[in-house]
């Protein structure tokens, strides 16, 4: 491991520990248990890299990609944490948003595009791990951005905590997906991706630490009783389907 990689890893661990302390000091881990679980996992995984370096090259590679697969799956905890706070169960919009979110999950082309990228990735690397990174990374970016789009559509105010978590994660997942796409188009982009990805991840950790430095939850949702939720759901779903159709035409002209 180069000195640059060691520095980035050490900086990342410092930010992860700082983030964990922010969640623990005021009991915020009880408010954001899914996000806390992911933050705790990050610290454990990052610290494990140092003793893992003493393993053979093959063993270390297997450890890295194996733990990365667990990391990919656990990122869905962030998506769920954001959704449950943007649309809490005690709000009138929860059931409406849940239906819309399911519609997005069905209509979005994340897995279709991801399957294409998975095939391209496998032909380049002959490994399933980068393929999983592309499939689920794209899906998570679309899901988190769809939640933010729904919150924007319903004009829901977001607190510092959730907005920081969602925006940072959405930006990082989108950037990671774009870098993956660039590698598929031009394999020579790989060295840049190996540098940009950890740096962007450290930037996300910095944003998360800032967001969780003080407790600032979402304001309580006020629902207009005169609004027609069925019409709103239909209009929003139709708009999302048009957006995903545009994405499909751009990717598969």
Give 251's pLDDT tier (boundaries 50, 70, 90): very low
What is the C-alpha separation between 130 and 122, in angstroms, rounded? 8
pTM for this model (two decimals): 0.80
Question: Is residue 115 packed enough to be buried (19+ CB in 10 Å), middle (13-18) or exposed (0-12)?
Answer: middle
Q: How far is CA 101 from CA 79, 163, 232, in A?
A: 11, 18, 13
- At 93-118, the pLDDT tens digits run 767 666 666 666 655 555 545 555 55
Bigger pLDDT: 87 vs 229: 87
pLDDT by residue (tens digit) across 164-200?
A: 999 999 999 988 877 766 666 666 666 666 677 788 8
* Cα atoms in the Cβ-side hemisphere of radius 13 Å centred on 154: 29
SS3 130: helix
**Which pLDDT does position 8 carry in this prediction?**
82
Helix, strand counts (H, E) of the chain: 11, 0
User: Hunting for tokens 């510092």 — which residue is that?
Assistant: 160
Mean pLDDT, all residues of the chain: 78
DSSP-based three-state secondary structure for 25? helix
pLDDT value for 37: 96
Q: How far is CA 38 from CA 20, 97, 192, in A?
A: 10, 24, 27
């Amino acid at each position: 491991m180069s000195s640059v990689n060691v520095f980035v890893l050490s900086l990342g661990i410092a930010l992860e520990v700082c983030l964990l302390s922010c969640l623990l000091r005021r009991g915020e881990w009880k408010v954001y248990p899914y996000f806390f679980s992911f933050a705790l996992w990050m610290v454990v995984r990052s610290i494990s890299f140092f003793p893992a370096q003493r393993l053979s090259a093959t063993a270390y590679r297997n450890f890295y990609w194996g733990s990365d697969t667990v990391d990919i799956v656990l990122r869905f905890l962030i998506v769920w944490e954001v959704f449950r706070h943007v649309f809490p169960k005690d709000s009138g919009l929860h059931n409406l948003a849940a239906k819309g979110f399911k519609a997005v999950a069905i209509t979005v082309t994340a897995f279709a595009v991801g399957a294409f990228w998975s095939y391209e990735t496998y032909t380049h690397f002959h490994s399933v791990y980068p393929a999983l990174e592309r499939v689920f990374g794209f899906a998570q970016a679309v899901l988190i951005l769809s939640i933010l789009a729904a919150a924007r559509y319903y004009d829901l105010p977001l607190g510092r905590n959730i907005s920081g978590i969602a925006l940072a994660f959405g930006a990082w997942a989108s950037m990671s997906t774009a870098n993956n796409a660039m590698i598929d188009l031009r394999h020579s982009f790989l060295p840049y991706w190996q540098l940009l990805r950890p740096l962007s991840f450290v930037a996300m950790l910095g944003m998360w630490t800032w967001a969780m430095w003080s407790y600032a939850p979402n304001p309580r949702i006020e629902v207009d009783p005169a609004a027609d939720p069925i019409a709103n759901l239909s209009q929003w779903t139709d708009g999302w389907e048009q957006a995903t159709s545009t994405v499909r035409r751009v990717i598969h002209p």
